[in-house]
Structure 1
Amino acid sequence: IVASAARRHDLIVVCDEVYEHLVFDGCAHIPLMTLPGMKERTIRIGSAGKTFSLTGFRIGYVTGPEPLITGLMKTHQHLSYTSPGSFQKAVAAGLAFGDDYYERFVSNMQTKRDLLSAGLMEAGFDVLPCQGTYFLTVDIRSVGREDDVAFCREITEKAKVAAVPISAFYHPSQTGAPHSYARFCFCKRPEILEEASARLARYFA
């Protein structure tokens, strides 16, 4: 749909594909620029922080046709000057990894997803399907809560487990924002995920 609209209206598309390698259950990510007629009109954004689990690095990279990248570079020079050289070298080394790295990466994250998902369900949560990213979303109504902000504050203070309210991703003035969902991150050590699940199970018992 996006590609069709872009071709029809002669649009340039900036594609956030930072989770391109975090796709589970045998699903495949299809970059928009690989679709017919999109290579010359797409800028694709990747993230070292997501691909290599190095959140603090804050280094991304873009792919696209030379005219668009040239224009992007002119804009970028007014937004940031540089990233630490050691970070750049580390990311360059990572980008040279073979396919086996990504296979292990996805397998490891899928295992952690399944571990936390099982633990949250055992604690009484309805867990939404997750076929990508680092995050699981739960419906807090399954444990008798309605307000996602209050829920996240409650479990942080009383169960000692942190989550993010989904409504935080909406502008405060926006109507219709959901308030009955919270997000948990599973890119942690297995023992931490198990402990978090156990704490929530005890708290909601």
Structure 2
Amino acid sequence: MKALSNRTANFTDSVIRRMTRISNEYGAINLSQGFPDFAPPKAITDRLAEVAAEGPHQYAITWGAQNFREALAKKQEHFSGIKADPNSEIVVTCGSTEAMMAAMMSVTNPGDKVIVFSPFYENYGADTILSGAEPIYVPLKPPAFEFDGEVLEAAFKEGAKALVLCNPSNPSGKVFTREELKIIADLAIKYDAYVITDEVYEHIVYEPYKHTYLAALPGMRERTIECSSLSKTYSITGWRLGYVIASPEIIDRVKKVHDFLTVGAAAPLMEAVVVGLRFGDDYYQELKNHYTHMRSVFLSGLKNIGLKLTEPQGAYYVLVDISEFGYSSDLKFCEDLARKVGVGAVPGSSFFQEDINHLIRFHFAKTDEVLLKALDNLSEIRRKMK
């Protein structure tokens, strides 16, 4: 038989999802795959129960139900200051994963180059390759995860057509400053490039840091493709409701790509979550307080154990240095951690283009009970892992 696709020949399975399977195999506390273990807001689940009886149960408009898009446009304008036309500047997708893929396929051609900051969420490199484009990796240097403006400009000079920006960042928890975003914006304008943003953690930012929407900077509204989802904001990762916000010209193309990728997002779920999109500011403050508490519980515990870490500014992940344990493979370390210690983590090498084997990623979107149990297990890490 003829060979399969060269484009996907070097793909592996998702290391993040693999670590969930390994955690399940050993009965480990899963701090690898980033989904909460607490319920969504009751107002949303109550509305879902009503929708289960009354519908809708058939296809919505391909690019998203009208009331969903209108509610989303108002919410995003409130937080970003950017007014988006719900009919011509928004597409609802099956999660931010599809949003990123649709955006990438809408702006790149085979052979184009796309800048990706490293470390990066594992899908970004795959999205670029599946689109036939070539990734150019620009390092974010630990522990502050800052980039070198000259190195970034050199990447643009290679002819990059787009840049992928995750802010707040997974896995590092970095929140890009307005000054850093201005550098990115100025280079994108100078070299006539698009910026595809992944902003799923926009509401999970810790004091004193602030989230700045790149599209709100001068000259960036027309060349920014904002991708996000409701998964993290409303604790509904399994609902797979994402979206793309961009200029009408870009959205017209995204609509067509989206139509042929997935046809449309789930109509009952869009209807149920509209109530959440209409929440007031108090909900988002409570969300921030909740995650600030979980970060404090987990990071304080890690520090008490004596583990070295990089304190996240946003999102709900923390990178931990495992150099002291002497493993040459962070994947083997994570497998042993699940088996011997009973805690699941993700090897840092799955996020870095550079040869980095001394970091692992935990997530802390868990109840206090689960986090404290994980910390209790981790208190035995030196005895069980050396």
TM-score by structure 1 length? 0.91
How many Å apart are 1:113 and its aligned residue? 0.8
Q: Secondary structure at the match of 1:79?
A: helix
1:64 aligned partner = 246
How many Å apart are 1:159 and its aligned residue? 1.0
Task: State the superposition RMSD in angstroms.
Answer: 1.6
Greater relative contact order, per chain length (Cα 8 Å cut-off, separation 6+): 2
CA distance in 1, matches of 2:222, 2:258: 20
2:380 aligned partner = 202
Does 1:184 find its partner at 2:184?
A: no
Q: Secondary structure at the match of 1:197?
A: helix
CA distance in 2, matches of 1:137, 1:190: 20
**Counting helix residues as a fraction of each chain, which structure ranks higher?**
1
Matched AA of 1:108: H
Matched AA of 1:99: D
Counterpart selection for 2:346 from 147, 158, 164 = 164
Q: Per the alignment, do residues 203 and 6 of structure 1 end up closer, same or farther by CA in structure 2, a change over 3 Å counting? A: closer
2:319 aligned partner = 137
How many Å apart are 1:142 and its aligned residue? 4.0
Counterpart selection for 2:371 from 185, 193, 203 = 193
Q: Per the alignment, do residues 143 and 111 of structure 1 end up closer, same or farther by CA in structure 2, a change over 3 Å counting? A: farther
Matched AA of 1:129: E
Deviations 1:26-70 (A, max 9, x none): 311111110001112211111111221222122111222222212
Counterpart selection for 1:97 from 279, 287, 294 = 279
The within-5 A match list for 1:100-111 is 100-111=282-293
- Which sections of structure 2, spanning at least 5 residues, go unmatched? 1-182
Q: Secondary structure at the match of 2:225?
A: strand
CA distance in 2, matches of 1:203, 1:2: 41
1:24 aligned partner = 206
Matched AA of 1:186: F
The within-5 A match list for 1:10-89 is 10-89=192-271
Matched AA of 2:210: A
Matched AA of 1:200: L
2:133 aligned partner = none
- Tell whether the 8 Å contact from 1:166 to 1:183 is kept in structure 2 after alignment: yes
CA distance in 2, matches of 1:127, 1:143: 14
Matched AA of 1:14: I
CA distance in 1, matches of 2:224, 2:343: 40
- Which sections of structure 1, spanning at least 5 residues, go unmatched? none
Matched AA of 1:21: H
Shifted more, 195-204 versus 89-98: the winner is 89-98
How many Å apart are 1:100 and its aligned residue? 1.0
Matched AA of 1:123: I
Shifted more, 184-193 versus 1-10: the winner is 1-10
Q: Per the alignment, do residues 57 and 101 of structure 1 end up closer, same or farther by CA in structure 2, a change over 3 Å counting? A: same
Q: Secondary structure at the match of 2:311?
A: coil
2:331 aligned partner = 149
How many Å apart are 1:81 and its aligned residue? 1.6
Matched AA of 1:166: G
Show structure 1 runs of 4+ deviating over 3 A. Answer: 142-146
How many Å apart are 1:88 and its aligned residue? 1.2
How many Å apart are 1:165 and its aligned residue? 0.5
CA distance in 1, matches of 2:194, 2:319: 32
Q: Per the alignment, do residues 107 and 192 of structure 1 end up closer, same or farther by CA in structure 2, a change over 3 Å counting? A: same
CA distance in 1, matches of 2:300, 2:326: 19
CA distance in 2, matches of 1:122, 1:61: 40
- Tell whether the 8 Å contact from 1:123 to 1:198 is kept in structure 2 after alignment: no
Identical aligned residues as a percent: 38
